[in-house]
Amino acid sequence: MSEAIDPVFKGVIPYLSVQGAGAASEFYQKAFGAKELRVMPAEDGKRFMHIHLEINGGSLMLSDAFPESGYAHQPSHSFTMQLVVPDLDVWWKRAVDAGGKPTSEPQLMFWGDYYGALVDPFGVHWAFNQPAEQPA
């Protein structure tokens, strides 16, 4: 008999390595309403081995880079964190007010959804998508 898996541990869970994981967690709490679920400081007392956040019902995990252990920081360049939300303008304002830098202002896109994108202070790309209303 298997136990049910907590929903925040299902699916694909992004795991980011950033410079300043503690500050990133604070930013994500302000910008995206993240909740810290687990925090594991590193032995040096300055960095974090692991931080587990819940954002918009899903998980995001992050840690500091540890170049001395073979895990150097590699800036984000080939992925975007996507948030699908019912109230994009609220999420957008909170993220920009927290320090996110817009790369694409929210607008109605050719595919019919309302969409905007930004980069956070840690170089991670985020996109916000508010699905078009579907006919009943």
pLDDT score at 59: 95
Calpha distance 43→101 (Å, rounded): 33
Tens of pLDDT, residue by residue over 54-65, are 999 999 999 999
Domain ranges, residue 52: 14-66+77-130
DSSP-H helix ranges across the chain: 21-32, 88-98
Q: Can you give the CATH number for the domain in which 104 is found? A: 3.10.180.10
Q: Work out how many domains the chain is built from and give that number.
A: 1
Burial code (b: 16+ CB inside 10 Å, e: under 16) for 33-60 equals: ebeeeeeeeeeeeebbeebbbbbeebbb
Give this prediction's pTM. Answer: 0.89
pLDDT value for 71: 79
In a domain? residue 96: yes
DSSP 8-state code for residue 135: P
Q: Which residues pair with 61 in a beta bridge?
A: 15, 52
For 85-130, how does the pLDDT look when each residue is reduced to its tens digit (9 = 90+)? 999 999 999 999 999 999 999 999 999 999 999 999 999 999 999 9
Domain membership of residue 115 (yes or no) is yes
Is the pLDDT at 136 greater than 70? The verdict is no
Structure tokens given for 27: 């930013």
